């Protein structure tokens, strides 16, 4: 099943001098649930619009199941179900009528469409609300109706743009579970974009981190954090005082440094030691601060300060998401 | 693995609109029973737009407004005819057309009403065509379905045009029917033809305003803004433009000693300035068609009049006389449509 279903090749989109999507390469395999994560304004929606052929790329190409989205958007849209961010429905129509309209736009005969629509409404939990006007739906209900609207055309690929936006945490969990069950049942490929790493990390097979129009990393959560922090989930900064050893010349200083570095590297859990001026940057797989202090003190070097850094999901956030938003 | 079956392309039976649908989706073949009628997506959109318009409050209000106007003009027309019937005018071979053009002085006749209310009808049917879809968040959802982008704007225009046509034809024929019953005089075929063309030109006139307001609905995000823009242009054309023209006319009045050519040129200039107005084109065209005795829409020299026999023009000649006006209206309508079409096709489709 390692068939490639979505393929983006050096995709670029420029609005005037602003580059929304910058030379993006990405492949998504059939049956996968892929999360496109990034802060607001990172170019996620633009990428999705280009996949559907709703926006033309400046350069590069998009292929969905081997069909070019730019030159043949109709065939692509026949296979792809798209739930836009903050989806809207015709308020004076009932949920069922809204679904039937979508079905008829997909050239489905009315009797089949009606059967299918009622079945889907039942599935997404709107069975009792189907004769209610869509204008009276709550945000979460609208989102679920949106999912039914996407599924009624029986798509091979489902693209969801910010599906969890504006729903309460419990609703998010339910909604994501619904997406997983409904897509796994029929082996559909799902691509969803979000700026909530925490919400979607559990359901995604793979994640692409998207910042400033560029894909900076992709893979599952483990490989992602490994890649992002070069296998150093912990980082310790230690300031050492070399000048305490009076009379030591430069070469001697270096040799002391070397022995210290080597002895630090020997500590289990330490991966990398990098001396910069009077500060040692020590990367380690787990918290081994105690041993490091002991080693440094044992070597006869003075410690001026010690700073412990810990990386996790929150740091992915700080580093890539919130940082960008603050700059805006 | 199942890709091979997906890639088999099959040409389905032509549907009712005669367009072949290429289907590359094996699901479609598996699930849909053959033989069941499928409406082409474009017709689906047109049908939906029409039913949306007809059910909307704004259409009901406009319809009752125009129906009332119609009733009033039939009344004034009939009382006007009553007066004319006794006078020497009773020998007029186009007696039936008087129903549309005469009035007893209390209310303007039918065609004047239409030239006044037509823009309002056109603007109100189109001012939120595109931007309301966008602000409701339905545009991106509908465009993600396998339809061409221009289906939306074409369907919006066609649906409103259908509604206007049905409305004007039924109102026009109702007026004719009422006249027939109340006066007992049947229309001649020529009169009938003239009325039909009058209705067609009215539809054209309203569709100009419709396209203008669709253009605004593409350009402006807020429906209120686009409605206001449409009404502003309507007001400008009906009120201010005339004031401007009369100001220019006063300033450019030729002196008392000016030659006949200068005076004629001056008259021509004023007329041409007025002919920029769609409402002027419309009233020129409709008066000529409904009043067969109108022989010219501009000043005539004595040379041209000498030897003419006063009498009505045949239908073909009347039509020929207003052909420039009709062409102008068609051109303005198409121009507005093309502009809105282009800007809609280039529009960035974003959610909300």
Q: Domain-by-domain residue ranges, chain B?
A: 64-299+307-346
Task: State the smallest CA–CA distance between residue A149 and chain B in angstroms.
Answer: 9
Direct distance between the N- and C-terminal alpha carbons of chain B, in angstroms, rounded to an integer: 39
For residue A177, name the pLDDT band (cuts at 50, 70, 90): confident
CATH annotation of A4-228: 3.40.50.300
The token pair at A188 is: 């559909």
For residue B33, which residues of chain A lie inside 8 Å, CB to CB? 109, 112
For residue B2, which residues of chain A lie inside 8 Å, CB to CB? none
Residue B329: is its pLDDT beyond 50? yes
Q: Can you tell me which residue has the tokens 């796994």?
A: A184
Q: What is the pLDDT of residues A102-160, one digit of tens each?
A: 999 998 898 889 999 999 999 888 888 888 999 999 888 898 899 999 999 989 999 99
- Alpha carbon dihedral A146, A149, A151, A153, in 10-degree steps, equals -150
Q: Please tell me the least confidently modeled range out of B158-167, B242-251, B312-321.
A: B312-321
**A149/B141 CB distance under 8 A:** yes
Residue B343: is its pLDDT beyond 50? yes
Residue B275's Cβ-count burial label (10 Å; 0-12, 13-18, 19+) is: middle
Q: Judge whether A150 and A82 are in contact, CB under 8 Å.
A: yes
For residue B52, which residues of chain A lie inside 8 Å, CB to CB? 90, 92
- Residue percentage of chain B with pLDDT more than 90: 39
Averaged pLDDT for residues B198-227: 94
Structure confidence at residue B346 (pLDDT): 87
The better pLDDT of the pair B32, B330 is held by B330
The Cα B268–Cα B222 span in angstroms is 41
Residue B90: is its pLDDT beyond 60? no
For residue A230, name the pLDDT band (cuts at 50, 70, 90): low
We find that the CATH architecture of domain A234-310 is 2-Layer Sandwich (3.30)
Residue boundaries of the structural domains of chain A: 4-228, 234-310
Q: Which residue of A has its CA nearest to B134?
A: A88
CB pairs under 8 A between A and B: 107
For residue B31, which residues of chain A lie inside 8 Å, CB to CB? 112, 154
For residue B142, which residues of chain A lie inside 8 Å, CB to CB? 102, 105
Orientation angle between helical segments B110-126 and B189-219, nearest 10 degrees:
30
**Which of A107, A150, A188 to mutate to test binding with chain B, by most B CBs within 10 Å of its CB?**
A107
For residue B122, name the pLDDT band (cuts at 50, 70, 90): very high
The better pLDDT of the pair A251, B323 is held by B323
Q: What is the mean pLDDT of chain A?
A: 82
For residue B218, name the pLDDT band (cuts at 50, 70, 90): very high
Q: Which residue of B has its CA nearest to A105?
A: B41
Angle at A27 between CA A21 and CA A32, to 5 degrees: 120
**A79/B25 CB distance under 8 A:** yes
Residue A287: is its pLDDT beyond 90? no
Structure confidence at residue B89 (pLDDT): 54
Give the burial string for A248-270 (b: 16+ CB within 10 Å, else e).
eeeeeeeebbeebbeebeebeeb
For residue B52, name the pLDDT band (cuts at 50, 70, 90): very high
User: β-pairing, A234-241 with A302-310?
Assistant: antiparallel
User: β-pairing, A67-68 with A59-64?
Assistant: antiparallel
**Partner residue facing A84 (CB), from B23, B25, B141:** B141
The token pair at A241 is: 């005082």
Phi, psi angle pair for A295, to nearest 5°: -65, -45
Q: Judge whether A31 and A60 are in contact, CB under 8 Å.
A: no
For residue B17, which residues of chain A lie inside 8 Å, CB to CB? none
> Which helix (H) or strand (E) segment is B321 a member of?
helix B315-346
Task: State the smallest CA–CA distance between residue A327 and chain B in angstroms.
Answer: 24
The Cα B157–Cα A124 span in angstroms is 36
The total number of residues written for chain A in this structure: 328
**Which of A88, A119, A120 to mutate to test binding with chain B, by most B CBs within 10 Å of its CB?**
A88
Structure confidence at residue A191 (pLDDT): 92
**Which of B21, B351, B352 to mutate to test binding with chain A, by most A CBs within 10 Å of its CB?**
B351
**Partner residue facing B349 (CB), from A54, A107, A112:** A54
- Alpha carbon dihedral A278, A283, A286, A288, in 10-degree steps, equals -20
Structure confidence at residue B275 (pLDDT): 85
| Residues of chain A contacting B, Cβ within 8 Å | 3, 45, 49, 52, 54-55, 65, 74-75, 77-92, 101-102, 104-112, 146, 149, 153-154, 161
The better pLDDT of the pair B80, B7 is held by B80
CB atoms within 10 A of CB A55: 21
Structure confidence at residue B36 (pLDDT): 64
Residue A248: is its pLDDT beyond 80? no
Task: State the smallest CA–CA distance between residue B222 and chain A in angstroms.
Answer: 16
The Cα A316–Cα B47 span in angstroms is 51
DSSP structure class, residue A94: B
**B349/A108 CB distance under 8 A:** no
Q: Can you tell me which residue has the tokens 């959560």?
A: A221
**B32/A108 CB distance under 8 A:** yes
CB atoms within 10 A of CB B74: 21
Q: Can you tell me which residue has the tokens 């400046």?
A: A58
Q: How far is CA A83 from CA A142, A155, B8, B144, B187, in A?
A: 11, 12, 28, 9, 58
Chain A within 8 Å of B295 (Cβ-Cβ)? no
Q: For chain A, list the strands marked E by DSSP.
A: 4-15, 18-29, 33-37, 59-64, 67-68, 80-83, 157-161, 189-194, 206-211, 214-219, 234-241, 270-276, 279-284, 302-310
Q: What is the pLDDT of residues A55-67, one digit of tens each?
A: 889 999 999 988 9
**Which of A84, A85, A90 to mutate to test binding with chain B, by most B CBs within 10 Å of its CB?**
A84
Q: Please tell me the least confidently modeled range out of A223-237, A245-259, B6-20.
A: B6-20
For residue B44, which residues of chain A lie inside 8 Å, CB to CB? 101, 104-105
Q: Which residue of B has its CA nearest to A74?
A: B146
Structure confidence at residue B87 (pLDDT): 62
For residue A154, which residues of chain B lie inside 8 Å, CB to CB? 27, 31
Residue B229: is its pLDDT beyond 90? yes
For residue B37, which residues of chain A lie inside 8 Å, CB to CB? 109
Chain A within 8 Å of B50 (Cβ-Cβ)? no
Q: Under DSSP, is residue A250 helix (H, G, I), strand (E, B) or coil? A: helix
Averaged pLDDT for residues B82-95: 65
**A84/B137 CB distance under 8 A:** yes
The Cα A144–Cα A161 span in angstroms is 13
Structure confidence at residue A233 (pLDDT): 64
**A88/B138 CB distance under 8 A:** yes
Q: Judge whether B294 and B288 are in contact, CB under 8 Å.
A: yes
pTM of the model: 0.79
Q: What is the pLDDT of residues A304-322, one digit of tens each?
A: 888 776 565 566 666 666 5
Q: Please tell me the least confidently modeled range out of B186-195, B219-228, B258-267.
A: B258-267
The Cα A249–Cα A271 span in angstroms is 29
Q: What is the pLDDT of residues B105-119, one digit of tens each?
A: 777 888 888 888 889
């Amino acid at each position: 099943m390692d068939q490639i279903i979505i393929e983006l090749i050096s995709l670029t989109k420029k609005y005037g001098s602003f580059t929304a999507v910058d030379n993006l390469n990405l492949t998504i395999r059939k049956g996968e649930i892929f999360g496109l994560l990034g802060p607001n304004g990172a170019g996620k929606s633009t990428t999705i619009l280009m996949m559907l052929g709703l926006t033309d790329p400046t350069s590069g190409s998009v292929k969905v199941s081997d069909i070019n989205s730019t030159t043949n958007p109709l065939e692509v849209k026949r296979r792809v179900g798209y739930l836009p961010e903050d989806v809207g429905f015709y308020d004076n129509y009932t949920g069922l009528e809204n679904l039937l309209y979508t079905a008829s736009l997909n050239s489905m005969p009315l009797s089949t469409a009606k059967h299918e629509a009622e079945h889907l409404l039942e599935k997404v939990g709107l069975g009792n609300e189907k004769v209610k006007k869509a204008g009276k739906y709550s945000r979460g209900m609208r989102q679920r109706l949106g999912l039914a609207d996407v599924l009624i055309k029986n798509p091979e690929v489902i693209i969801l743009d910010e599906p969890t936006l504006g729903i309460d945490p419990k609703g998010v969990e339910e909604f994501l579970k619904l997406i997983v069950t409904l897509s796994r049942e029929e082996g559909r490929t799902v691509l969803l974009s979000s700026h909530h790493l925490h919400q979607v990390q559990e359901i995604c097979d793979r994640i692409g981190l998207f910042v400033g129009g560029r894909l900076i990393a992709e893979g599952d959560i483990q490989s992602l954090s490994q890649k992002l922090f070069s296998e150093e989930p912990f980082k310790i900064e230690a300031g050492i005082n070399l000048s305490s050893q009076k009379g030591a010349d430069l070469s001697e200083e270096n040799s002391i440094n070397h022995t210290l570095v080597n002895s630090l590297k020997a500590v289990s859990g330490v991966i990398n030691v990098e001396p910069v001026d009077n500060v040692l940057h020590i990367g380690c797989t787990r918290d081994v601060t105690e041993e490091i202090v002991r080693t440094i003190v044992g070597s006869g070097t003075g410690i001026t300060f010690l700073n412990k850094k810990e990386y996790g999901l929150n740091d992915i956030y700080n580093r890539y998401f919130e940082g960008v938003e603050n700059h805006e | 693995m199942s890709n091979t079956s997906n890639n088999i392309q099959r040409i389905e039976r032509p549907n009712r609109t005669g367009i072949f649908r290429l289907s590359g989706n094996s699901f479609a073949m598996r699930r849909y029973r053959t033989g069941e009628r499928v409406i082409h997506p474009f017709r689906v959109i047109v049908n939906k737009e029409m039913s949306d318009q007809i059910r909307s409050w704004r259409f009901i209000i406009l319809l009752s407004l125009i129906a009332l106007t119609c009733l009033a003009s039939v009344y004034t027309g009939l009382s006007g005819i009553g007066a004319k019937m006794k006078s020497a005018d009773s020998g007029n071979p186009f007696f039936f057309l008087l129903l549309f053009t005469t009035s007893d002085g209390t209310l303007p006749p039918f065609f004047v009403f239409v030239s006044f209310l037509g823009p309002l009808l056109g603007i109100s049917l189109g001012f939120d065509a595109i931007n309301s879809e966008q602000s409701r968040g339905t545009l991106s959802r509908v465009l993600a379905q396998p339809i061409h982008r221009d289906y939306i704007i074409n369907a919006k225009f066609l649906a409103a045009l259908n509604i206007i046509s049905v409305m004007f034809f039924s109102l026009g024929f109702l007026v004719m029917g009422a006249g027939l019953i109340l006066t007992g005089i049947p229309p001649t075929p020529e009169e009938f033809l003239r009325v039909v063309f009058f209705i067609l030109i009215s539809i054209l006139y309203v569709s100009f305003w419709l396209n203008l307001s669709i253009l605004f609905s593409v350009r402006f995000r807020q429906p209120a803004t686009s409605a206001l823009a449409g009404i502003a242009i309507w007001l400008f054309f009906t009120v201010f433009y005339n004031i401007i023209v009369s100001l220019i006319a006063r300033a450019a009045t030729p002196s008392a000693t000016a030659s006949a050519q200068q005076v004629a040129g001056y008259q021509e200039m004023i007329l041409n300035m007025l002919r920029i107005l769609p409402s002027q084109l419309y009233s020129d065209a409709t008066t000529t068609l409904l009043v067969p005795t109108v022989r010219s829409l501009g000043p005539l020299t004595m040379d041209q009049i000498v030897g003419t026999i006063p009498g009505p023009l045949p239908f073909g000649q009347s039509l020929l006389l207003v052909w420039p006006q009709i062409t102008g209206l068609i051109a303005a309508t198409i121009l507005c449509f093309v502009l809105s079409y282009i800007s809609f096709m280039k529009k960035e489709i974003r959610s909300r």
